[in-house]
Structure 1
Amino acid sequence: MIQLYGNCESGHSYKVKLLLEVAGVPHEYQEIDLRLARADRPEPFRSLAKYCEVPLLVHDGKPYVQSNAILLHMAEHLGAWGGESKERLERCREWLFWEANRIGFSMAHLRYGQKFDDAGAYAGT
């Protein structure tokens, strides 16, 4: 069984949720309210999430954190998207690091800017 803990405002959670949906991987999803102090976030999320951040994927009882590490784990587990061979997995890893450095950082800021106004109020989209 796969359990994904995420937050609808998190682009990193979205990447993992998207992979699970596109791949047709059965999973349970639990929304984590990131406005709560880390110490007030629910169990078992708090105990399993090494940094008490989303996304957290629990697969066969083992927790995985950090979206790109989770994506690599799932590629290997499913034998897809680069997980079929060492060479393809290396290429997949390269693209994920490129995304994190070039696109991911910018996309998170763009998404935040679209969701919140200059005062930090939720824009409701």
Structure 2
Amino acid sequence: MADIHLYTAATMNGYKPVIFLEEAGVPYDLTFVDFANQEQKAPDYLKLNPNGKIPTIVDRFEGRPIFESGAILWHLAEKYGQFLPSDPVGRSEVMQWLFFQVGHIGPMMGQAMYFQHIAAPNGHEEPFSIKRYVDESRRLLEVLDTHLEGREWIAAGQYTIADMMIYPWARAYVWARVSVEGLDNLKGWFDRIDARPAVQKALTIPKANPHFWDEKADASAFAKENAARFASDVKSDR
């Protein structure tokens, strides 16, 4: 039995711990959390993650669950001694960019996706909200592009959990409908991570969603399914 039991789904947050585990070569057990059946809200799952979201891990060796993707990657990096510098300055730099993703890129791009792919097809077209979140997402990608000038990786001069945290969200600019035109440093960083076999494998676990990343993918069927799955999340005052 593996030390790590991962509960996840095929979302930007859900792919993050899979990327770490595949990159680190750590064995793990996986449970797919089915949003269509509201498994993330089931009583047994809420005992592991009181927020009813994914991902969650159970560290069987320590006998405890850990939720929130940033906390999970931090825990795994500490546990396995990989993808996190040992020096205080390097560790601090990694954590700053980890929190940059948690506090900015994830929420802003997530809202851009929500208003375009869930609210709008369920009868709540909000042009102001869409523009607000798409514009802010673009600004954040510009921050990354500027930071990556002359750098191969996000922090500490090496590939770390900061890259793993930011990549699934920033790379999903396609699904968020955010332009990356002119952001050549960012595109180069995408290319470097795209070329990592462990990352490409991780993006198929628990299943692949090419609609998030590939501009040429036919997203029509997936978009309808996705909008229907989360229709109950759209509040109506009618």
Q: What TM-score range do you get, normalising by the shorter chain?
A: 0.7 to 0.9
Gaps of 5+ in 2: 123-220, 227-238
Q: Give the 3-state SS of the residue equivalent to 2:35 in structure 1.
A: coil
Partner Cα distance (2:7, 2:32) in 1: 6
Preserved CA contact (<8 Å) 2:40 2:54: no
1:103 equivalent among 102, 105, 112? 105
Q: Offset of 1:30 from its aligned partner?
A: 0.6
Preserved CA contact (<8 Å) 1:83 1:89: yes
State the one-letter code of the partner of 2:80: L
Is 1:65 the counterpart of 2:67? The answer is yes
Gaps of 5+ in 1: none
Alignment partner, residue 49 of structure 1: 49
Partner Cα distance (1:37, 1:6) in 2: 11
Alignment partner, residue 5 of structure 1: 7
Partner Cα distance (1:77, 1:58) in 2: 13
Alignment partner, residue 90 of structure 2: 88
TM-score, normalised via structure 2 length: 0.44
Alignment of 1:108-119 (within 5 A): 108-109=110-111, 118-119=120-121
More helix by share: 2
**Structure possessing the higher radius of gyration over alpha carbons:** 2
* Ranges of 4+ aligned residues in structure 1 off by more than 6 Å: none
1:26-70 CA-to-partner distances (Å, cap 9, x unmatched) read: 10111112341755x263x33222322211111122111110111
Preserved CA contact (<8 Å) 1:75 1:83: no
Q: Give the 3-state SS of the residue equivalent to 1:50 in structure 2.
A: coil
Alignment partner, residue 24 of structure 2: 23
TM-score, normalised via structure 1 length: 0.76
State the one-letter code of the partner of 1:15: K
Preserved CA contact (<8 Å) 2:40 2:52: yes
State the number of aligned residues.
122
Higher relative contact order (CA 8 A, sep 6+): 2
